Amino acid sequence: MNLRNDNPIRNREDIADPPCPHFGPCGGCQLQHLTYAAQLRDKAAQLRGLLEATGIALPELQIHPSPPLAYRNRIRLTLAEVDGQLRAGYIRSLADHGAECPTASPEHTERSGCSDGGLEGDEILNSVPIPSGISFLPIRECPIAAPILWRATEAFLASINEQPRLWLRNPRQMPDQLELFTTADESRLQLTLFLRTTAMTLPKKLAADFTALCEALRARITELAGAGISLLPAHSTQRSRRAEQPRPGPTWGSPGLNYSISVPQPSTNNQQPATFYWVPRGAFFQVNRFLLPELLALVTANRTGGLAFDLYAGVGLFSRALATQFAQVAAVEIAEPAFTALAATKLTNLRAVKATTLDFLRVAVLDRDRPEFVVLDPPRSGAGPEVCTLLARIAAPTLVYVSCSPETLPADLKTLTASGYTLTKLHLFDLFPQTTHIETVAVLTC
């Protein structure tokens, strides 16, 4: 969402020196000019204002801060040739001078205004044509990313630029984007190279060239566990992850990462046994490596019973933990490759369901399924009135709504509370420091 800053007057103590040299021209981080305390205060006020407008009685808002830098486990960068060298950066709009947020998930993309900056006057951009109205901003660092992600980016660029004839001089296959994903402890790394191509079939040599590239890269970044090429159409008017569906290309190494999360036990310094997640390359996973244990604990701790629903389950962030506490868990996901990873779990009481949440709930109502607990984590568009109405008919005693959009959350909460639920707890998780994004966890009971 776009955090409103209607009042430009700030107390002096709220102003901070932006930690990133690209702040302004790159609109991915809109709040680096504010202290972290001021960022949290603004987000809390924005969330309260949006929810108070519904007339719902609100419990006290509990705020969960994050380390403000180096928190991202995933970034996606745009690639372009500048003065004969491949550079990495972000796409920015010339209309509002905002750059794409490095979120790598289509449900989190924001833009904001910025000051002057961008391409130097003598920089020559040679790459796939970029639609009019936007431009490429090369960057030298990304302080919100886990350090290994930028180290790997630099190593990747160095390897590519050592072989410009192979990777930069072939108009039939041009580097366009780079996505990097790491484990919380930065011990393992996945890479996806997006190529734009005019070819329907790829030369056999490409697989061998890519293998050689990955081996050279692993010599520089020993944490590299796997990599793949995704193929995009040669020309695009939108450059949108939603509109462009890549084709799979050559791969190297492991097809994904084992991501572990250890949840702290309440009132102790001890850790519960880690929960392990198989995250295929390209599958959605929450990006804040520091706050994930706290989020997982809040949603799943002390939840027990016979049946639980995990809706919009992804690779099973919540359902894998719930499966240790419920006799049966139904985890609902429609998107690939997340569903394949979810279905591959070896937990006998976790049932992966490939369906939209709406279709699943329509059947659940007819079958008179009565879970003791429901968690839903919908995309930015929210759950919607029909899903919320069906949830009210199912009437699980406890429902936890994890929302990435305070702009759509109020309408869904209003539907649920009008149908018999009471909002009992409200949490703001700052999963995206330095940006306007707000993650909310609402606990409802009936």
- What's the pLDDT band for 241 if we cut at 50, 70, 90? low
- What's the pLDDT band for 245 if we cut at 50, 70, 90? confident
Residues 46, 297, 58, CA angle at the centre, nearest 5°?
35
% of the chain surpassing 90 pLDDT? 74
Specify the pLDDT at position 211: 97
Q: Residue 165 pLDDT > 80, yes or no?
A: yes
Report how far apart, in Å, the C-alpha atoms of 62 and of each of 115, 161, 391, 427, 434 are: 34, 48, 25, 5, 19
Q: Which of 106-115, 207-216, 409-418 has the lowest mean pLDDT?
A: 106-115
* Structure tokens that stand for 96 in this block: 């509002």
Across 42-59, average pLDDT: 96
Residue range 260-277, pLDDT digits in tens:
998 876 655 566 678 899
Instruction: Considering only residues 192 and 247, tell me which one the structure prediction assigns the higher pLDDT.
Output: 192
Residue range 115-151, pLDDT digits in tens:
222 322 233 334 444 555 568 999 999 999 999 999 9
Residue range 299-320, pLDDT digits in tens:
999 999 999 999 999 999 999 9
CATH code for residues 74-254: 2.40.50
Specify the pLDDT at position 106: 35
Provide the residue ranges of all domains of the chain, joining segments of one domain with +. Answer: 45-67+260-274+282-445, 74-254
HEC letters along the chain: CCCCCCCCCCCHHHECCCCCCCECCECCCCCCCECHHHHHHHHHHHHHHHHHCCCCCCCCEEEECCCCCCCECEEEEEEEEECCEEEEEEEEECCCCCECCCCCCCCCCCCCCCCCCCCCCCCCEECCCCCCCEEEEECCCCCCECHHHHHHHHHHHHHHHCCHHHHCCCCCEEEEEEEEEECCCCCCEEEEEEEEECCCCCCCHHHHHHHHHHHHHHHHCCCEEEEEEEEEECCCCCCCCCCCCCEEEEEEECCEEEEEECCECCCCCCECCCEEEEEECCCCCCCECCCHHHHHHHHHCCCCEEEEEEECCCCCCCHHHHCCCEEEEEEEECCCCHHHHHHCCCCCCEEEEECCHHHHHHHHHHHCCCCCEEEECCCCCCCCHHHHHHHHHHCCCEEEEEECCCCCHHHHHHHHHHCCCEEEEEEEECCCCCCCCCEEEEEEEC
Cβ-Cβ contacts under 8 Å for 422 (sequence gap 6 or more): 444, 445, 446
Please say whether the beta carbons of 223 and 189 come within 8 A.
yes
Task: Establish whether domains 45-67+260-274+282-445 and 74-254 are of one fold.
Answer: no
The pTM is what? 0.88
Please provide the average confidence, as pLDDT, over all residues in the chain.
87
Residue range 60-93, pLDDT digits in tens:
999 999 999 999 999 999 999 999 999 999 987 5
Specify the pLDDT at position 132: 52
Residue range 402-425, pLDDT digits in tens:
999 999 999 999 999 999 999 999
Domain at 45-67+260-274+282-445, CATH from 2.10.109.10, 3.80.30.20, 3.40.50.150, 2.30.42.10:
3.40.50.150
Specify the pLDDT at position 94: 53
Instruction: Considering only residues 100 and 406, tell me which one the structure prediction assigns the higher pLDDT.
Output: 406
Across 26-42, average pLDDT: 94
Specify the pLDDT at position 230: 95
Closest CA to 358 of 332, 322, 393: 332
Q: Which of 172-186, 268-282, 367-381 has the lowest mean pLDDT?
A: 268-282
